[in-house]
Structure 1
Amino acid sequence: MTTKDSAPGRDETPQERADRLWNEMLQEVRVCQTGAQILFGFLIGVAFTPRFAALPDFDENLYVATVVLGAVATGALVAPVAFHRFLAGHGMKPELIHVAGRLIATGLTTLALTIAAALLLLLRTATGSPTTAWALSGAVLLWFTTTWLVLPQVVLRRTVARQAATREHGGAAGGDRFLR
């Protein structure tokens, strides 16, 4: 039986849809959660290296900001697990999915900023050229913005437009091409 709340092309109840969405979210977050935790662990270790004491003030402050961003990213990406643990069995999966989606988005954003800041710190030290470090770190952050935010929106808009054209003309509009 298809309900009006089920996803297009699926025959699922609202609860089945919530279960599916939750499982998909867990699979997605596992990848970035592990990476964020490993990166955060490495960042913590930097303060205990002999070279850390010789960092200029800017780099020391950049390090602190990077560690804080890493902690926020890790916390946001682990939070859906805590939410699920506390709310499981209360019939709140749709609400959990909504909140978890926001937490994952926050985690991804702060993870991208953590990586860019860590890269900036590393490249300032490795190249000795602040200009090069800023340019390369900015380019990486732009890459994350493009692939994590812009490209999905472009794909979504094109898919919605293609689906609207298909409904309007009663047939296939544009085939199954990924991007035109």
Structure 2
Amino acid sequence: MNPAEGRERRETSFERADRQWNDLLQEVRVAQTGAQILFGFLLSVAFMPRFGTVSPFDRGLYVVTVVLGALATGTLIAPVAYHRRLAGRRLKPELVRATARLVVLGVVLLALTVGASLLLLLHVVIGGGLAWGIAGGVMAWFALTWLLLPWLLLRHHR
């Protein structure tokens, strides 16, 4: 058993907000990097010679995927803009709560971007139902590992 279990931290609301802000920044760095790399790759796809030969469905899926990637990237960068705008105004607890929601939204958008990217790739390479099945399986894995398992851990802890 962890010796700190069952004991509250002795910190002020501002100290807690500072700690939570630092934790949030570490999480955002991981997600931002993945989103930016994926988005950069997606932007380059339209300039490949084979892109002109893809089906209308694949072209539409590409547009949706790029838009999702742009939204994910922008949402995961938003905490930086929030911090710049609100720094020094003694609003750190509010900043942490607001940007934590943005990070959750950004991660959801990133998961959708990954799923749509995978579907696009597999639809072009193998086509049809198998592409949908594999992409759906990956999205189910994300739901299991990102949502269900943490929820079960919280439920067990309570």
- When the two structures are superposed, what TM-score results if normalisation uses the length of structure 2? 0.94
1:138 lines up with 2:136 in the alignment: yes
Q: Which residue does 2:115 correspond to in 1?
A: 116
Query: What are the ranges of 5 or more consecutive residues in structure 1 without an aligned counterpart?
Result: 1-6, 161-180
Structure with bigger helix share is 2
Q: Which piece of structure 1 moves more, 99-108 or 8-17?
A: 8-17
Q: Which residue does 1:9 correspond to in 2?
A: 8
Residue-by-residue CA offset, 1:85-124 (whole Å, 9 max, x unaligned) = 1100000111111110110011000100000000000001
1-side partners of 2:47 and 2:111: how far apart? 24
2-side partners of 1:121 and 1:26: how far apart? 31
Structural mapping, 1:1-180, within 5 Å: 8-127=7-126, 129-160=127-158
Q: State the Cα RMSD in Å.
A: 1.1
Q: Which residue does 1:167 correspond to in 2?
A: none
2-side partners of 1:122 and 1:17: how far apart? 43
2-side partners of 1:143 and 1:37: how far apart? 22
Structure with the bigger RCO (C-alpha within 8 Å, sep 6+) is: 2
Query: What are the ranges of 5 or more consecutive residues in structure 2 without an aligned counterpart?
Result: 1-5
1-side partners of 2:128 and 2:86: how far apart? 47
2-side partners of 1:83 and 1:13: how far apart? 22
Q: Which has the larger radius of gyration?
A: 1
- When the two structures are superposed, what TM-score results if normalisation uses the length of structure 1? 0.83
2-side partners of 1:150 and 1:78: how far apart? 26
What is the letter of the counterpart of residue 123 of structure 2?
R
2-side partners of 1:137 and 1:39: how far apart? 16
Percent identity over paired residues? 57
What is the letter of the counterpart of residue 107 of structure 2?
L
What is the letter of the counterpart of residue 113 of structure 1?
L
Per-residue deviation, 1:9 = 2.6
